[in-house]
Amino acid sequence: MTTMFLFANCAVLDAAQGRLLEGHHVLVEGNRIKEVSDRPLKATAARMIEGRGRTLMPGLCDAHVHVAAVSPDLAALTKWAPSYVTARTAEVLKGMLRRGFTTVRDAGGADYGLADAIAEGYLEGPRLLFSGPALSQTGGHGDQRGKGDNSTDYFCGCVGTLGRVCDGVDAVRRVARDELRKGATQIKIMASGGIASPTDHIANTQYSLEEITAIVEEATAARTYVMAHAYYPNAIRRAIECGVRSIEHGNFIDEPTARLMVQKQAFMVPTLSTYEALAREGVAMGFPPAFADKVQWVRGAALTGLETAHKAGVAIAYGTDLLGAMHRHQALEFTLRREVQTVAEVIQGATVNAAALFNRVGEVGVVAPGALADLLLVDGDPYRDITVLQRPEETFRVIMKDGAMVVDQA
């Protein structure tokens, strides 16, 4: 028999409009939302959950995570047994779901094995939209080798390696096809220098236009898209002009580049919380001290980048990019973004905007008939006090994913 739940008398959070719909009733049948109504619904077979005084909202989306980054020392991670990395990834996944994140997009490291294990119930975790390893050029952000290291470890893209090194149009095309063969829901590329890579500068551009174009072509052929790690305007502009759909980080974006992103209907996924967490406690948590200067370099620009993109009207999705034990700060992004965005806009980033970026409009990030039953029943009103989303153990009465109860304290 299909399981049914009836959430009665709730304030339903309408993320698109940025308001609560008081006194609503929501019927869940199987893994979908069947009905949303302002009049009482009858469903004798359903379990009734009283929602008076509570908010029923869509499960949250995080558009930039690395679930397999169980240590902030990414180079060390590649020497660990994949089975050990997987075991520790289970904790990260569980933590995310219990913070209310029911869909996450992995920006490098997760694979079909993890996604299948979650979908089949062997692991507790959010719905996982995985990229496989991120494609990186030699000496790029996905290449963890120091100057004296000539190993080929980074050419395979095994679990535990966040990047896969490949160069040249033919090679990047083959690797993109290979990751799509393994079920990648989107392709991630490193289009500029980054923090946790030993031999590149953050302002570097990476990959030739021909290489990026070839990767976009392959993703498009497979009816998906490319997300690109990029910090500076020239790297962002090159990626966008080649057809990349989302820019990850984007800290140093300028106005003309932001306008180009609007024109091309691209998304930006800032990741303020990782800089904050790395600056506060990164080294204590095992982040290599050699990269600490790079953290400071980008941290100061992160909020300005968000502000520039926001003012230009770029669609912005929620992202965190946390590593190791710092994953516990996943909800910190809500308050960091409040410096620039309204509460309603911040919540849109973690719901409707993320859904649009994922090509999952009407499926995730919304409480509506036909959507997947990813729901949070929350004590309080997130629009009045966004910190209710940062205290899940205290405020989340129900966490439901795919029509199944994860937390049931109704």
Residue 153 Cβ, how far from Zn ion at the closest point, in Å? 19
Residue 170 Cβ, how far from Zn ion at the closest point, in Å? 27
Under rule CB under 5 A, which residues in 301-330 are in contact with Zn ion?
321
The stretch near Zn ion (CB under 5 A) out of 104-112, 120-128, 255-263, 292-300 is 104-112
Find the DSSP H helices in 209-291: 209-221, 233-241, 255-263, 272-277
Residue 66 Cβ, how far from Zn ion at the closest point, in Å? 6
Distance of CA 57 to the CA centre of its chain: 18
The stretch near Zn ion (CB under 5 A) out of 19-27, 68-76, 102-110, 168-176 is 102-110
Measured from the CB atom, is 56 or 128 closer to Zn ion? 128
Size of the site for Zn ion (CB under 5 A): 2
Measured from the CB atom, is 107 or 347 closer to Zn ion? 107
Burial label, 74 (beta-carbon count in 10 A; 0-12, 13-18, 19+): buried
Question: Tokens at residue 303, please?
Answer: 């909020």
- Is 107 one of the binding residues for Zn ion (CB under 5 A)? yes
- Say if residues 376 and 399 touch (Cβ distance below 8 Å): yes
Distance (Å, whole) CA 87 – CA 163: 20
Per-state percent for the chain, helix, strand, coil, to nearest 5: 35, 25, 40
What is the widest separation between alpha-carbon atoms in the chain?
69
Measured from the CB atom, is 62 or 321 closer to Zn ion? 321
Distance (Å, whole) CA 303 – CA 305: 5
Measured from the CB atom, is 51 or 142 closer to Zn ion? 142
The stretch near Zn ion (CB under 5 A) out of 100-108, 238-246, 288-296, 310-318 is 100-108
Distance (Å, whole) CA 196 – CA 357: 26
Residue 7 Cβ, how far from Zn ion at the closest point, in Å? 35
Measured from the CB atom, is 275 or 396 closer to Zn ion? 275
Give the end-to-end CA distance of the chain in Å, rounded to a whole number.
22
- Is 106 one of the binding residues for Zn ion (CB under 5 A)? no
Residue 193 Cβ, how far from Zn ion at the closest point, in Å? 13
Written as one letter, the residue type at 213 is T
Measured from the CB atom, is 24 or 229 closer to Zn ion? 229
Residue 194 Cβ, how far from Zn ion at the closest point, in Å? 8
Interface contacts to Zn ion, rule CB under 5 A: 107, 321
